[in-house]
Amino acid sequence: MSRPPFPPFSSETAAQKARMAEDAWNSRHAEKVSLAYTPDSIWRNRSEFLSGRDAIVAFLTRKWTKELDYRLLKEVWAHAGNRIAVRFAYEWRDASGGWFRSYGNENWEFDDAGLMALRIASINDLPIAESERKFHWPLGRRPDDHPSLSDLGL
């Protein structure tokens, strides 16, 4: 199994890889998302450590059960060889209707087949008023003409 584009990444292919990841996560289909990772992929997400696709599926299923109306933007920060660093923000609400914007950075490392073997994520959550939301597209893929993180001042 492979997932182009492959390393080493150019600015263009790193941005393509980030958008593909954003689109997959915005689908909120845990099994589909897990296929972008190696079968033995290693993750650190906040203070949680995971290994393997089954753990990724369980994690994402749990995440999207808690984080409702999830909408994510990713933007490449840097890239070299088989590594990409991205920054991101996502908005979501909890079951009681409280809104949050979560900010973070991810470091990614890919194998030769273009699958992510390592993902290290640092994330902070900020409670926001519903009126402060910036991500209003219908659930699913972000429209191509939607402002980027930089355009939004995030």
Does some domain include residue 31?
yes
pLDDT score at 41: 98
Q: What is the pLDDT of residues 14-31, one digit of tens each?
A: 999 999 999 999 999 999
Backbone angles phi, psi at 39, to 5 degrees: -55, -25
Question: What distance in Å separates the CA atoms of residue 65 and residue 28, rounded to the nearest whole number?
Answer: 10
Task: Give per-residue pLDDT as tens, 34-74.
Answer: 999 999 999 999 999 999 999 999 999 999 999 999 999 99
User: What count of other Cβ atoms lies within 10 Å of the Cβ of residue 36?
Assistant: 20
Residue 153 placed within a domain? no
Q: Is residue 66 part of a domain?
A: yes
Domain range holding 44?
A: 11-132
**3 domain residue, yes or no:** no
CATH number of the domain residue 29 falls in: 3.10.450.50
Note the pLDDT of residue 80.
98
Task: Count how many domains the chain has.
Answer: 1
pLDDT score of 90: 98
Q: Is residue 2 part of a domain?
A: no
Question: Hey, is 59 helix, strand or coil?
Answer: helix
Question: Does pTM surpass 0.85?
Answer: yes
